[in-house]
Structure 1
Amino acid sequence: MGGGHNSLKHDPAIEKWYQMREDIYKGFRFTPYATRRVLLWGVAVPALTFYIVYDNANKWSFKGKTHGESLRR
């Protein structure tokens, strides 16, 4: 029922890509390009997101508002 074992055919290109992704850390170096990207995506974006959320945390209230009332506190 449903075929025997080893009925899945593996694509060599996908297997090669999987292997490359598993071993990516072996060839990584902090070049100026990589450092800028790490700082942007690992530090600046989370810090900016935190600032926006923290700044707007107590400015809005959705509790019990009706059609004509403002959402600002």
Structure 2
Amino acid sequence: DPAIERWQLMRDSQYMHFKWTPLKTRQVVNLMIVVPALCGLLAYSTDLRWDWAGKLKGQSLLRNPPAKQEDQE
């Protein structure tokens, strides 16, 4: 099929026609710096927050659950 051959040739020679434009620079920075930094920030902020081991139904999954407030009459 000629269309498959053209597509393969385009894919094989794509690196020779690549140019750093402002748009491509922003995309590379976003994908290689900003996205991993946001994932790391999310992981750091939730680290040691949850405790999944040995929890029963109805128990909080938080490692340090808030204290229960007793009803004052």
Q: Do the structures match in fold with TM over 0.5?
A: yes
Structure 1 runs (4+) greater than 3 angstroms displaced? none
Aligned length: 63
Equivalent residue number for residue 70 of structure 2: none
Match of 2:42 among 46, 52, 58: 52
Distance in 1 between residues matched to 2:9 and 2:44, nearest whole Å: 41
Look up the equivalent residue of 2:41 and give its one-letter code: Y
Distance in 2 between residues matched to 1:21 and 1:50, nearest whole Å: 33
Percent identity, please.
43
1:21: how far off?
Answer: 1.3
Q: TM-score, normalised by structure 1?
A: 0.78
Q: What runs of 5+ residues in structure 1 fail to find an aligned partner?
A: 1-10
Distance in 1 between residues matched to 2:21 and 2:45, nearest whole Å: 34
Deviations 1:26-64 (A, max 9, x none): 111111010011111111111111111122121111101
> Does residue 69 of the first structure (1) align with residue 33 of the second (2)?
no
> Does residue 36 of the first structure (1) align with residue 26 of the second (2)?
yes
Q: TM-score, normalised by structure 2?
A: 0.78
Q: CA RMSD, aligned part only? A: 1.0
